[in-house]
Structure 1
Amino acid sequence: MTTNELPRDPDERVLCSSYPGADWRILRQDREAPLALHDRREILDPLLASPDGTGRVHTDAGELGWAKVTVASPTEPGTEGTFVVGYLIDRDRVEVDNTVRILALVSLVGLVLTAAASWLIAGRILAPVRLVNTAAAQITEQDLTRRIPVEGNDEFAALAAQFNAMLDRLEQAFATQREFLDDASHELRTPITIVRGHLELLDPRTSDPEELDAVTRICVDELDRMSRIVDDLLVLAKTERPDFLHLQPTELAELTSDIEAKIRVIGDRRWRLEAIGEGTVTVDPQRITQAVVQLAHNAVRHTDTGQEILFGSALDSGPDPARVAFWITDHGPGVSPDDAKVIFERFFRGATSMPGGRGGAGLGLPIVRAIAEAHGGEVKLVSTPGAGATFGLDLPTNPPSTPGTSP
């Protein structure tokens, strides 16, 4: 083996020694630095004499790892030799240590960056949840106007939208409650004042029977009016409840005949059934009757004895969705354009009732509108001042499911 054929690793040392008697020869690498192993008898002799096949030894060039194997010459019988490979491991150890340190540093930096990115991403993901929590903490019975911005189309955006919808329903419920209380206190104050005033002025010891009867009639009349106002307010308060309507398939012709029989006894008028629709519609027959009867009361209040009032129904089964209509037409003074804009508001009282007629509390037409809207429809008014008015309900034959309906 020539020296040029030996490995060229700078940290590797390769040599062969042979012992033909007392002399020995060495085949070695032609390399000296950093350690000439063939000249270091203090290292080489213990290594060759060691019974171990591998080991490590400390040198001035660093730690040396070695391995040896005994070989016999095929051409010189009885001649044995030892093949030794040594390797200075300090430089590799330094490289390994540097690599480990670099890997540890890279891992630490990666861990920090991953934690920071996770914190930022988690913050962005949980931001809508924090907004919901903040909004919920700021909501009070007095302030339900707080809303959450809805951005994107993910699950959190859907959650924010549902939360806003819930707040809308709560705000509407509280507004209805406050409106009911305001309306009740406003409208009941007058009859209570009238009753109290007459009772305070009444002296049973000095009043004659006729005066007592008059005061009693006034008080009973005002108490009846208070009862009607409360009943109307309760109806309006129930319009958002799921049990306000009880929808059911109803024969339109039969419902029209029943309503016509009831409105004929409301007042001394010339009632005429103008049209009658035929078919099956899905409505709440009791609420429809209540609305039409209220329109009939309104027509009686604005007409004189013997005047004609028309009532009718019709079913339009044309293009989807099919519609059903009920209407009351009178020939009274009509409704002015200004009044028509607000006539369906609560406690509105027009100035067109007949002389001597007593106006209502201004809750009848709002109840009619509430019933129509609960059915998914609307209330309509067609009027020419001085030539009468037509009030009607325009409803779908299959109302959609709304908060005010139940099957």
Structure 2
Amino acid sequence: EQIGESDLTRRIEARGNDDVAQLAHTFNRMLDRLEGAFATQRRFLDDAGHELRTPITVIRGHLEVMGDEPADREATMRLVIGELDRMKRMVDDLVLLAKAQEPDFLHPGEVELAELTVELLAKARVLGDRRWRLAALSEETILADGERLTQALAQLTDNAVAHTREGDLIEVGSAVRDGRVALWVRDDGPGVDDEVRERIFERFARADGATSGEGAGLGLAIVASIAEAHGGRVRLDGAPGQGAKFTLDLPLCQPPRASTGLR
């Protein structure tokens, strides 16, 4: 009776190794999953409520003061559509972060790091007039979710463009060393201040100095979630004022070799 929808923290004490104890262990594991699911749901609702409040207020305020002139109405409609688009992007990002906790978030397959890196650079060149450079290229084939890795790296290139200016250097690279996979994006922008580093990968955290973009501060949290889903992490290197290097640091997982049929 102590376990209910308002309190899932309590567990059944299991002693011994008989059937009753095994049933208690199974029940406790089920409670662990339920508690995690409820926590994810609460966080999603809290985040959505907090972040959607501002654009809703902006939309309502402009609609209330909208005049009868066609030009005024057109300007207000553009603003409202822009805010609605921003809200949709925010909700999509929040849903992605919630899904990152689910076991089927990743769909692993063979990923050629060279192809992934070269395609990333080709796609990134259109984001801004920067000095784009390929820093290193691994020829390894790994087992990972290529779409999720591309999504994370694309977010890092977007972030690099937002914090650099025309003509600044942005480089991408891939490498495999000591059983680890490194995929990185580095820029020679202003870097990240020490006080921001502590929370840079948290939801809604934003680094100062962005020259473009209107993100809600969810991008790097998504990158971190994708890295963690692969059993790795995302690392930030570079002193303030000396650029920033974001690296996906993942354990090397190679696809099984095809059997040759020889004994």
- Normalised by the size of structure 1, how large is the TM-score? 0.59
Q: Is 1:196 aligned to residue 60 of structure 2?
A: yes
Question: What does residue range 4-403 of structure 1 map to in structure 2 within 5 Å?
Answer: 137-152=1-16, 155-204=19-68, 207=69, 209-316=70-177, 318=178, 322-354=179-211, 357-398=212-253
- Report the number of matched residues: 254
Higher strand share: 1
- Normalised by the size of structure 2, how large is the TM-score? 0.90
Cα distance, 1:141 vs. partner?
Answer: 2.3
Whether the aligned pair in 2 keeps the contact of 1:382 and 1:391 (CA below 8 Å) is yes
What letter corresponds to residue 74 of structure 2 in structure 1?
Answer: D
Cα distance, 1:283 vs. partner?
Answer: 0.7
Whether the aligned pair in 2 keeps the contact of 1:346 and 1:362 (CA below 8 Å) is yes
1:264 partner SS: helix
- For 1:268 and 1:223, how far apart are their aligned partners in 2? 29
Whether the aligned pair in 2 keeps the contact of 1:353 and 1:359 (CA below 8 Å) is no
Aligned to 2:257: none
Cα distance, 1:380 vs. partner?
Answer: 0.7
What letter corresponds to residue 127 of structure 2 in structure 1?
Answer: I
Distance change in 2, residues 1:155/1:325 (3 Å): farther
What letter corresponds to residue 326 of structure 1 in structure 2?
Answer: L
More moved, 382-391 vs 162-171 = 162-171
| Unaligned 5+ runs, structure 2 | 255-263
What letter corresponds to residue 345 of structure 1 in structure 2?
Answer: E
Structural RMSD (CA): 1.8
Cα distance, 1:260 vs. partner?
Answer: 1.5
Aligned to 2:261: none
What letter corresponds to residue 185 of structure 2 in structure 1?
Answer: I
Identity of paired residues, percent? 57
- For 1:390 and 1:155, how far apart are their aligned partners in 2? 53
2:170 partner SS: strand
Cα distance, 1:324 vs. partner?
Answer: 1.2
More moved, 364-373 vs 336-345 = 336-345
- For 2:39 and 2:139, how far apart are their aligned partners in 1? 40
Whether the aligned pair in 2 keeps the contact of 1:349 and 1:359 (CA below 8 Å) is no
Q: Which has the larger radius of gyration?
A: 1
| Unaligned 5+ runs, structure 1 | 1-136, 400-407
Whether the aligned pair in 2 keeps the contact of 1:379 and 1:392 (CA below 8 Å) is yes
Distance change in 2, residues 1:161/1:338 (3 Å): farther
Cα distance, 1:203 vs. partner?
Answer: 2.8
Per-residue CA distance 1:201-224 (angstroms, 9 max, x = gap): 1133xx2x3322221221111111
Whether the aligned pair in 2 keeps the contact of 1:325 and 1:393 (CA below 8 Å) is yes
Cα distance, 1:156 vs. partner?
Answer: 4.3
1:261 partner SS: helix
Whether the aligned pair in 2 keeps the contact of 1:326 and 1:393 (CA below 8 Å) is yes
Higher normalized contact order (CA 8 Å, seq sep 6+, divided by chain length): 2
What letter corresponds to residue 217 of structure 2 in structure 1?
Answer: G
Per-residue CA distance 1:256-312 (angstroms, 9 max, x = gap): 112111111122211111111111100111100000000111111111121111110
1:278 partner SS: coil
Cα distance, 1:241 vs. partner?
Answer: 2.2
- For 1:277 and 1:155, how far apart are their aligned partners in 2? 51
1:273 partner SS: strand
Cα distance, 1:327 vs. partner?
Answer: 0.5
